[in-house]
Each structure stands twice: as C-alpha cells, then as structure tokens.
Amino acid sequence: MEILKTEALTKVYGKGQNKVTALDQAYFSVEQGEFAAIVGTSGSGKSTLLHMLGGLDRPTSGKVFVEGKDIFSLKDEALTIFRRRKIGFVFQSFNLVPTLNVYENIVFPIQLDDNTVDEKFVGEVINALGIENMQERLPNQLSGGQQQRVAIARALAAKPAIILADEPTGNLDSKTSQDVLSLLKVTGQKFSQTIVMITHNEAIAQMADRIIRIEDGHIIKGGRPYTSLDSAESEGILTSDMRGLTK
C-alpha cells in the first residue's frame, strides 16, 4: 500500500532572470514499511523535496499524498495538525527542547496534540533504542549519538504514517552514524514504520531498501517501486542483456 506519493511536484523560486526551479515535475511513491533514501549532491533539490513531503513548505504546483490525503488541499492550521499527527521528523540538528528531559522530549509532540501517551508503546521504543537509563537527563548531558536516538524515539512515539529524516547523521562521526542508522532501520522494521531519508552520503544510503536519486530538481532513478521488468529496465536498473538472466 502506498503511504506517500507525489504528482508533478514542482517548486520555483524567484522570477525572470532570478528564477530557479528547485524541483521539477517530481513523481515518486513509497510503500508502507519501506525505508527509502533520497540521494543527491548539494543543490540537487533533495532538501526542497523533503520540505514539500513534510508540508513544511508549499509547492508551486503538484501534489503530495500521505495515506491518500492531498496535504496541500488543507489550509495552514489544518496542515499543521495533520503534520503533527501523521509525519515524524528526525533532523540533522536533533531539535530537542533543551529545558525538557529525555522522556519529556519524546512525549512532547503527543502532549502538544492533547493526546494520551501510550506508555507501554513509548517504553518499548525507548528500550529498543537503548536509552532507558537516560530518561531523566537533559539534552546537554547527552552525546550527539544519544541525542539523535532521542529524536528517533520522539518521531516513533507518535505513531506517524511516515518518518522523514533530514541528513540524520550529518552531525555525527562515521561510527556513530552507522550505529544510529542501524537503530533507525531496525526500530523502523520493529514498529512497521515507513521512513524516507535524505542524504548525500552513498554509504549511508546503501542501508535503505531503495535509493531514489535526484539531480537538478529531477528524480532520475528509483522513483517508483519496480513492479515489473519493464519498469526496472526503463529506469536503467536492469539492462536488456541482464533481463535475459532473470528468465
């Protein structure tokens, strides 16, 4: 089942000679439970795409569907509520509230929405991420890797339709990056969570189930799950010579 889908998603900044097309007619979809990585160099449009997917910015044209809902058909206040309930975020800079302890940070978005915290589920998430002994600590008492674990727990705790991870290892060293990404993937699988991550790091991207490549605002490869040999061949994943080996 498709959890996330875009149709002709386009974002243009400026006008005339200053016009920049950051995203150009982007089509792709993500299935329930999938871990997809969007890979591109700086300026490729991947951050713009993530902002559109999360409803953090509105497109010039095109649509984004989350669980079949056209999110940009919503007015600003309704979109904010939908985003809080249906989309979890993991940012490069962690974005933890410095005056709240670990547990309070994890449940904060749930309480902000006036929902009851599922203590049992939150406890399972905390244990899965190995931060059960850190719940009373403040963010400044944690390492970067520990803070990102808390950020992942916060995203999972609200049981969103999808988690969007924006360069989640950008502020971490290579070993910690591998540890955090492994935890993100394992906990995503454990809690049947759909994850879309943007990164410029090819090694990190290889941990995903599928890699979506973006260049100059265009999705050039991996935009849709390969439902047939024809679709795989059309995206250059499978050559005509290789096709014969599959028969």
> Could you read off the pLDDT of 49-67 as tens digits, one per residue?
999 999 999 999 999 999 9
Report which of 31, 70, 24, 29 is spatially closest to residue 193, judged by C-alpha positions. 31
Residue 139 in this model has a pLDDT that exceeds 80: yes
Q: How far apart are CA 156 and CA 187, in angstroms?
A: 9
The number of beta carbons lying within 10 Å of the beta carbon of residue 174 is: 11
Q: How far apart are CA 117 and CA 109, in angstroms?
A: 10
pTM of the model: 0.85
Confidence band (pLDDT; 50, 70, 90) for 240? very low
Two tokens, residue 16: 């005339």
For 157-212, the pLDDT digits (tens) are 999 999 999 988 888 888 888 888 888 899 989 999 999 999 988 888 999 999 99
How far is residue 208 CA from its own chain's centroid?
Answer: 11
Residue 88's beta-bridge partner residues? 163
pLDDT of residue 41: 86
CATH number at residue 73: 3.40.50.300
Higher per-residue pLDDT: 178 or 153: 153
Residue 70 in this model has a pLDDT that exceeds 90: yes
**Residue 35 belongs to what domain range?**
2-246
Say what percent of the chain tops pLDDT 90: 65
pLDDT of residue 224: 64
Strands (E) located in the chain: 2-13, 20-31, 35-39, 61-66, 69-70, 87-91, 162-166, 195-199, 210-215, 218-221
Q: What is the average pLDDT across 24-28?
A: 91
Tally of domains in the chain: 1
